[in-house]
Structure 1
């Protein structure tokens, strides 16, 4: 009977149900998953928590997920469970799913790559090698997945709302926010507090909390008040900050949070106090007095060794050899859609444009897109991998309504959209002040002759 079932499954194009796991403990599944899904969870030898879900009638494809952030606290099981819940659409479409919390909080793109690879090895030891392995990265996880695709072999890669400009220039708009905010607000730090260069984000011994930072933002701009309740000075400050930085008001607090606490993590915990950021020569515009702003804003130059290490850890060479499909919300308020232009340039410069398809949706959120869109995208990628038929934005848009009949979250692909250059949205650093993106050859040379380069796991 078991042999007959196996043959039937193969004839139907389905993978047989996996044998019971030898190593991974079973856990209760999130309620969003289909009935008769089997879930596993635990902590690996490096301290990373993981979640795995395998649906009944598994189609033989594993989706490895790399999450965004970075989270600055210690890893927890909740992180991977929350990710499984958020992307349960993958399991509902018949894919097995596995995601890691990573071994620690804080920045570290290649650390996250290693933890994702560790999870893939655990899955294979327990259930056998999947027929197909797809990698899915969301937000900063898009950077992680794109970096992993340049180092390890996957069958295909899906990047959604990805931070794809890399660490050496992907956060320049937050560098600009940090200095522009301080010019107008002068309360981060206050004149009565110990001074420090703003590229640090925050001095290492500061006890400031997220709520404390929000209170200072409110004090300066009245951002949490109704417009008519703001003072004239608050309204002016907010208008100038938004006008110069080109950031949406609704995500200004989260961008400032990143430019404070995550910058502190990058500088002090990952780069030994060295500065990877610079804004020399940047000409800021959009305020009521650009001359005074450019004269008074804090300026600094990056430490080349710090930029080199951040670049090695997270910048993308465009060295892809398998199908890569990206999907990005046109009005993403956190990782601007122009990140896709930076990635397209890296891939094109490496001569690999044939492996890349980019899709854009008329959505305006960062952390999650429509389940109907995710289902259409992963299906298009899977078909490309298995048949060689390269999708187009138009073909994904045409396929989406069939998935929307199941998920009822809407189809928003805009086949005609193409983003402008990254530099059209983010102030460029004149004279190549940022470290240029490493080529594949340069990355190999650095690894051979400078084995300790980059950010340690």
Structure 2
């Protein structure tokens, strides 16, 4: 027990080298608990421990209800990580935008307001890190490009880091393919109401359920899933299908298909001012060849006695969907990364996530590389299915690794093996943090990136 405690202490000492006590940095010794509302109706929460170490983590939540619907600002997306960080001297802040849904525009404005409140009430931190889950990860990525005056580093986890335009196009390709091939004539964009979109989802789910009962339907679901790169291991608590277990993979894709391909589109269209997705000019045969799923799809089509080329030809001639350029421009501003990082960023994704798919991490690294900022980016991956299901140990290990990069100027221990050692040592000192499952991974390319 003493040896394990010594290992944890040593790791933390290395990663937290250079931390400044709160009394030296700000004169504030804590503890402090503060809740408030910004002028636009967004809310914030701030917690400062008694012995603050000078680092602030600013959290943004994912897609969901805003403060205007009664939801409160939260300090973190994982209770165990939150408790550990506060117990070890980290100050936490959280911001809840006023509006519901894809409120990236407001969050990019409101997070700096929360940090400004912290600076005024507590004092300026020695290190400020932005982190967030899902859509909140997109916000953290946006701050990393636009607000180096506010943050020193960013940890987007399970984040839509390829941006909403690419994410919506990815979903549209799967929805278009499956409704075309299953002869389900439904509207896929330009919705007039939530009710109209809900009717589409009901019809699609019914068609999917019927198709899943036949070999032909399962083959076509697998083809459509390939266009959205839906994970062949999607269901938490289940074993990963083998590399040639085509039927097992398709069953996992089916389980995630409806929620992935038919995720809410009407709220984004309302916010953006029109249809935000298109498939004009898309070559679905080429997409299939680049998807990494060609072997599975061919095998299932052969087993069903279907002609794959005939179905691809059917998709090629089906009427296409167009977007409103002004709506696309709005989503690009809020926020499609251009890769021009201004502070260090460490992303964290699960291999089997679909909201977003892990291919978004590849798209993000590619756009950062094109911008010449690769030195500021590292990516970490966890082995498993599910959305934002990281353990407290995995999240804290990522926080400490990013913090060390900000303080030292060098990336250390970003591979799977050192991250697993750090997370395991953390969990050894606090069993409530859970386990660890980092792995080294190079995801497939996202089929339709933007920009």
TM-score range, shorter chain: 0.7 to 0.9
8 Å Cα contact 1:180-1:297 kept in structure 2: no
1:368 matched to 2:389 = yes
8 Å Cα contact 1:50-1:77 kept in structure 2: no
The residue number in structure 2 matching 1:222 is: 209
Structure 1: give runs of 5+ residues left out of the alignment.
Answer: 1-10, 22-35, 190-195, 429-433, 438-457
Alignment of structure 1 residues 25-424 onto 2, 5 Å: 38-69=32-63, 71=65, 74-78=68-72, 80=74, 83=77, 85=79, 88=82, 89-153=84-148, 154-185=151-182, 189=186, 198-200=188-190, 203-207=191-195, 215-222=202-209, 230=213, 238=221, 241-242=224-225, 245-247=228-230, 248-258=253-263, 261=264, 263-267=265-269, 269-284=270-285, 285=288, 286=297, 288=306, 289=308, 290-291=311-312, 293-295=314-316, 297-391=318-412, 392-393=414-415, 394-405=417-428, 406=430, 407-414=432-439, 416-423=440-447
**Is the alpha carbon distance of 1:188 and 1:15 closer, same or farther for their aligned partners in structure 2, counting shifts above 3 Å?**
farther
TM-fit CA distance, 1:396: 2.4
**Is the alpha carbon distance of 1:124 and 1:364 closer, same or farther for their aligned partners in structure 2, counting shifts above 3 Å?**
same
TM-fit CA distance, 1:336: 1.5
TM-fit CA distance, 1:78: 3.6
Structure 2 residue matching 1:222: 3-state secondary structure: helix
**Is the alpha carbon distance of 1:19 and 1:113 closer, same or farther for their aligned partners in structure 2, counting shifts above 3 Å?**
same
8 Å Cα contact 1:280-1:301 kept in structure 2: no
Structure 1 distance, partners of 2:419, 2:436, is: 10
TM-score by length of 1: 0.73
Structure 2 residue matching 1:363: 3-state secondary structure: strand
Structure 2: give runs of 5+ residues left out of the alignment.
Answer: 1-17, 231-252, 289-296
TM-fit CA distance, 1:283: 1.3
**Is the alpha carbon distance of 1:372 and 1:186 closer, same or farther for their aligned partners in structure 2, counting shifts above 3 Å?**
same
8 Å Cα contact 1:275-1:303 kept in structure 2: yes
Deviating more after overlay: 304-313 vs 337-346: 304-313
8 Å Cα contact 2:59-2:75 kept in structure 1: no
**Is the alpha carbon distance of 1:186 and 1:87 closer, same or farther for their aligned partners in structure 2, counting shifts above 3 Å?**
farther
Deviating more after overlay: 64-73 vs 390-399: 64-73
8 Å Cα contact 1:66-1:137 kept in structure 2: yes
TM-score by length of 2: 0.74
TM-fit CA distance, 1:304: 3.4
Structure 2 distance, partners of 1:238, 1:245, is: 11
8 Å Cα contact 1:161-1:327 kept in structure 2: yes
8 Å Cα contact 2:59-2:130 kept in structure 1: yes
Q: Which of the pair is proportionally richer in helix? A: 2
- RCO higher in structure (CA 8 A, sep ≥6): 2
